[in-house]
Amino acid sequence: MRQAIAALAAILCAGALQAEDARGTQQAVPDDVWSAMQGTSWHTDMPCPARDDLRLLTIPYVDFYADRRDGRMIVSAEVADDLLSIFADILSAGYPIQSMRLVQEFGGDDGLSMAANNTSAFNCRLVAGTNRLSQHALGKALDINPVQNPYVTRSGVSPAAGVDFDEPHERKADVPGVITAEHPVVRAFKARGWGWGGDWSASKDYQHFSESGK
Ligand SMILES: [Zn+2]
């Protein structure tokens, strides 16, 4: 009996370690990261969030070769816990992510980040073609695998390489990286009350998830 309990304890412990390992971590924005954000993803002439209101997440994920990697993402402190839980679910589901680098590594240029199929969150910028602040500017929205999940409007597809994944018949659950309505990625976000741009009617932003649903 004692042996059985010890064996059970060992199994439970291994499970706990695995779960711990699958969850990323959060920290205050370090000095080097903050200084690289200046003039790229954070601007003095825009109403960007204060440094203290942002967190740097380190997130374990699997890439398209099934290799385990650690990515980095900046988000609002208010949603940091939710996002760590969501990405733990995404990792458990085995969903592949190509790249998870801070948008400042692309000079704050959303177009370059999307073209590189980069998954990212915070970027203090306006909604393309408007003078409204994007939900990304609040650190409460993120874009996942933009190539497999493009932003589709009447005027085009963004990024351009997303043209292979913009038609309904190209958006099947068995295509790696493609996010569909009943997909584990969508379920992970919706379980925490987040909205998906694939549910929008006028345009489709398949890569986009936000706390507000906007
Ligand atoms: Zn977005």
Residue 7, pLDDT score: 56
Spacing, Cα 27 to ligand 1 middle (Å):
23
Spacing, Cα 184 to ligand 1 middle (Å):
19
pLDDT at 5 > cutoff 70: no
Spacing, Cα 69 to ligand 1 middle (Å):
22
Spacing, Cα 52 to ligand 1 middle (Å):
23
Match 């493009």 to its residue by tokens.
150
Spacing, Cα 110 to ligand 1 middle (Å):
9
Residues 6+ apart with CB under 8 A from 7: none
Q: In DSSP terms, which residues pair with 126 in a beta bridge?
A: 133
CA atoms within 13 A on the CB side of 189: 25
Residue 2, pLDDT score: 56
How far is residue 153's CA from residue 166's CA, in Å, rounded to a whole number?
Answer: 10
Residues 6+ apart with CB under 8 A from 90: 61, 97, 184, 185, 188
Residue 128, pLDDT score: 80
Spacing, Cα 7 to ligand 1 middle (Å):
47
Mean pLDDT of 95-107: 98
Spacing, Cα 124 to ligand 1 middle (Å):
12
Match 């990697």 to its residue by tokens.
69
Spacing, Cα 74 to ligand 1 middle (Å):
14
Residue 67, pLDDT score: 97
How far is residue 148's CA from residue 179's CA, in Å, rounded to a whole number?
Answer: 8
Spacing, Cα 56 to ligand 1 middle (Å):
18
Spacing, Cα 35 to ligand 1 middle (Å):
24
Spacing, Cα 87 to ligand 1 middle (Å):
17
Residue 114, pLDDT score: 98
Residue 17, pLDDT score: 47
Residues 6+ apart with CB under 8 A from 118: 98, 99, 100, 101, 103, 106, 146
What percentage of the chain has pLDDT greater than the value 70?
Answer: 91
Mean pLDDT of 33-53: 97
How far is residue 87's CA from residue 60's CA, in Å, rounded to a whole number?
Answer: 8
pLDDT at 54 > cutoff 50: yes
Spacing, Cα 206 to ligand 1 middle (Å):
9
Spacing, Cα 192 to ligand 1 middle (Å):
18
Mean pLDDT of 138-142: 98
pLDDT at 153 > cutoff 50: yes
Q: In DSSP terms, which residues pair with 60 in a beta bridge?
A: 70
For residues 167-205, one letter each, b for 16 or more C-beta atoms within 10 angstroms of the residue's C-beta and e for the rest, the string is eeeebeeeeebbbbeebbbbebbeeeebbbbbebeeebb
Residue 82 — pLDDT band, cuts 50, 70, 90?
A: very high
